[in-house]
Amino acid sequence: MSHLILVRHGQSEWNLQNRFTGWVDVDLTPNGKLEACKAGELIKELKLDISYYFTSYQKRAIETLNLILNTLRIKNDKVVKAWELNERHYGSLTGLNKNEMKKVYGEEKIHEFRRSWDNQPEALNKNSPYHPINIEIYKDIPKNKIPDTESLKNTYERVIPFFEKNIKSKMDKNILIAAHGNSIRALCKYLFKIDNNKISKLEIPTGNPLILKFSENKKLISGNYLDKNRAKDLLIFS
């Protein structure tokens, strides 16, 4: 049996401000750091030997993983950082307050932008300081790979090929991925075989490790959150 542990980063500064963040590189809040440390404590209780660690290019996920590894007393020299695990790009909504946008577009439309399978917001202007081409950490990503906006489907189309090429073959060992709400939603859609309509119901809480158990032939056996008090419905085996 092997385990795949998925952790959405702890609360970020823009989570706290209720802003669409996407590819903007923001820090964790003090509460987000506590969430990451608590995630580390919960993972520590499992007493698992974790062989591989993956995260995105974004510091809120990187710092979450670092805090988990510090709690586990593990040096982070094995960590693989992949832009493909970045959060979904929210296009022209980037930086805007979600509640304010509900007043503009209506609650149903904003929910559709946030949770639907293939609905993209309008593209973000390339002159915006929030556009990834203007953010230093993305300078080594080919420009034709950098999006102006994304749906969950677009996010899935970069997350899953990376997963299949770089992670799936290692799943005879225990693996930890620290990423983002939508990159983890994409992975869960793939692993749980959630259909396009149901995926809108899947919520991923910050800083709560989701542990998935796999059989020797890599068949998913079970999935559950380690912090039961903050667990969400996984839509798994339903």
| Residuewise pLDDT in 10s, the chain (238 residues) | 999 999 999 999 999 999 999 999 999 999 999 999 999 999 999 999 999 999 999 999 999 999 999 999 998 778 999 999 999 999 999 999 988 887 877 777 777 777 789 989 999 999 999 999 999 999 999 999 999 999 999 999 999 999 999 999 999 999 999 999 999 999 999 999 999 989 988 999 999 999 999 998 889 999 999 999 888 888 765 4
Q: Where are the alpha helices (DSSP H) in the chain?
A: 13-16, 30-44, 59-72, 98-105, 107-115, 152-166, 181-192
Any domain includes 238: no
Tell me what pLDDT residue 238 has: 46
Partnered with residue 53 across adjacent β-strands are 79, 176
Tell me what pLDDT residue 103 has: 81
89 is known as an active-site residue: no
List, in order, residues 6 or more apart from 2 with CB less than 8 Å away.
171, 172, 173, 174, 175, 213, 214, 218
Any domain includes 60: yes
Check if the beta carbon of residue 53 is closer than 8 Å to that of residue 121: no
Measured over the CA atoms of residue 117, residue 121, residue 127 and residue 131, the dihedral's sign is negative
Q: How far apart are CA 51 and CA 33, in angstroms?
A: 23
Sheet strand arrangement including 220-225 = 79-81, 50-55, 174-179, 2-8, 210-214, 220-225
Structural domain containing residue 219? 2-230
Any domain includes 215: yes
Any domain includes 44: yes
157 is known as an active-site residue: no
Q: Judge residue 166's burial from the number of C-beta atoms within 10 Å of its C-beta, 0-12 exposed, 13-18 middle, 19 or more buried.
A: middle
Look up the CATH number of the domain holding residue 114.
3.40.50.1240
Q: How many C-beta neighbours within 10 Å does residue 88 have? A: 29
Any domain includes 235: no
Q: How far is CA 112 from CA 45, 96, 121, 199, in A?
A: 38, 16, 10, 11
Check if the beta carbon of residue 8 is closer than 8 Å to that of residue 16: no
Question: Domain count of the chain?
Answer: 1
Tell me what pLDDT residue 236 has: 64
Any domain includes 89: yes
Please state the φ and ψ torsions of residue 222, each to the nearest 5 degrees: -160, 165
Q: Which listed residue (35, 84, 87, 150) is catalytic?
A: 87
Any domain includes 43: yes
Any domain includes 236: no
